Copies of this chain bind each other. A is one copy, B any other.
Amino acid sequence: MKTIKVGLLGFGTIGTGVVRVFQNNARVLEQRLGLRLELAGIADLDMTTDRGVVLEDGVLTNDAQSLLNHPEIDIIIELIGGYEPARTFVLQALKNGKHVVTANKALLALYGEELLKVAAENQVSILFEAAVGGGIPVLSAIRENLGANNFSAVQGILNGTCNYILTRMTENGEDFSLVLGDAQKLGYAEADPTFDIEGIDTAHKLSILISMCFGTWIDFKQIYTEGITRISALDIQFARQFGYQVKLLAIGKMEEGTIEARVHPTMVPEHYALSDVRGVFNGVRLMGDFVGPVVLQGRGAGMDATASAVMGDVISLSRAMAGGSTRMTPPLGFQPSLMQRLPVKAMADIVCHYYLRFMVSDQPGVLAAISGILGKYDISISSMVQSEAKGGGWVPIVMVTHEAREDNVRRALAEIDELAVIGDKSLLIRMENNLS
């Protein structure tokens, strides 16, 4: 039986999961592949920590070069994370004629174009299913079986930390900062949670989804990115009154050759697949012209689920190698020479329904003043909730608009916030309604 040798860079949590797949599921891998996968070496600077797995002598090294230059290793798995030395090692592996599997969405979002180019030049592949949606096989679905479709939209809940926080705020009415603290204690959020809660991690993932759905390069700086830190338990309760849940949603759309690319807190209607994606789970909805809507859900992070996705890529590469294929499927699903560079719609031009929350002093004429300004900017209201004042202070007025233009909404809010009757800065949450 043929053997394919694999080298692993990075022996952290996900790396340990990968080792566990090699050890625990060797039998099913052989049954499926008809060949043997051998984890020939693991490189990590930390050679002493006990990861709870037993390795044969000589497998663990602190010398990444010994794997990158190993003549018999055909596949390098990069699980170091971050930009350097991950980028240097990946480039080196590709130039040495080795296929690469990585879970590093930050690296791909910033250097993806370069890495894919070097891979193509060296007739090897770089796959990254684990970089988006953890264990959910969404990238391979787009690239393979759904490949006959033109996609018009992709929406995703792609960050487990944010979804955990929003789910607890929704189900228990708890406040953001309290839940964030708990999430940190439970290991669902980093000590510095900025990347997650400000939507940056989600934007990294969205840039990959957009390239794969629409066949376009996108600079991740072109993605409008807004985090969840301004969402209050109050907004979540109002959202529920209107029949919605608040999710940090990644939204990619293509219409007439222009891309929409945005990450922000979003109200999604209840009882659709994405509204039921709870806690640390992730979910992605794809809209194809033939297949219609397809929704995939699963664990978006964690040692084992991510290791499943990494090994899924190793399976693809191993099968292609075993068949002696001379032409690898392009990692983004499109032939690199046929990728486009489509324009991205300015955020000001986005059109959607909006949830607006104003904190007002409870006195006559407030509603007239607010609705007058909204009317001036062509923003019409489809429903409204005004709570009773509870002994002075500021009172929330909440509105859901018909379709309106972002630019108009922002200018209206700026003008409204100048009114003397307005307390706190007004809040908008965009809505995404067509999620059947």
Residues of A within 8 A of B (CB): 17, 20-21, 24-25, 28-34, 129, 135-137, 140-141, 143-150, 215, 271-273, 276, 288-299, 302, 304-305, 307-309, 311-316, 319-320, 322-330, 333-335, 338
Contacts and interface: CB of A to CB of B under 8 A. Distances in A.
Copies in the complex: 2
Majority-rule SS of A interface residues: mixed
A86 to B, nearest CB: 22
A296 B293 contact: no
B305 A291 contact: yes
Smallest CB-CB A-B distances: 10 pairs: A323-B325, A145-B312, A148-B311, A137-B145, A323-B327, A291-B308, A135-B291, A294-B298, A290-B308, A34-B335
Interface core residue of A144, A148, A311, A314 (most chain B CB under 10 Å): A148
Contacts of A21: 148, 290
A312 to B, nearest CB: 3
A148 B323 contact: no
Contacts of A304: 289-292
A132 B181 CA distance: 44
23 contacts: A21-B148, A25-B289, A25-B290, A31-B334, A32-B147, A32-B215, A32-B330, A32-B333, A34-B338, A135-B290, A135-B291, A136-B294, A137-B144, A140-B140, A140-B141, A144-B144, A145-B313, A148-B307, A291-B299, A292-B305, A294-B297, A295-B297, A319-B329
Contacts of A32: 143, 147, 215, 330, 333-335
Contacts of A136: 294
A311 B148 CA distance: 6
Nearest to A279: B436
A116 to B, nearest CB: 15
Contacts of A276: 271-273, 276
B308 A146 contact: yes
Contact of A145 (B34, B140, B293): B140
Given A21-B290, A144-B312, A328 B323 contact: yes
Contact of A292 (B135, B329, B334): B135
A312 B143 CA distance: 9
Given A145-B315, A338-B34, A295 B298 contact: yes
A308 B148 contact: yes
Nearest to A24: B289
Contacts of A272: 276
Contact of A290 (B31, B150, B296, B305): B305
B25 A148 contact: yes
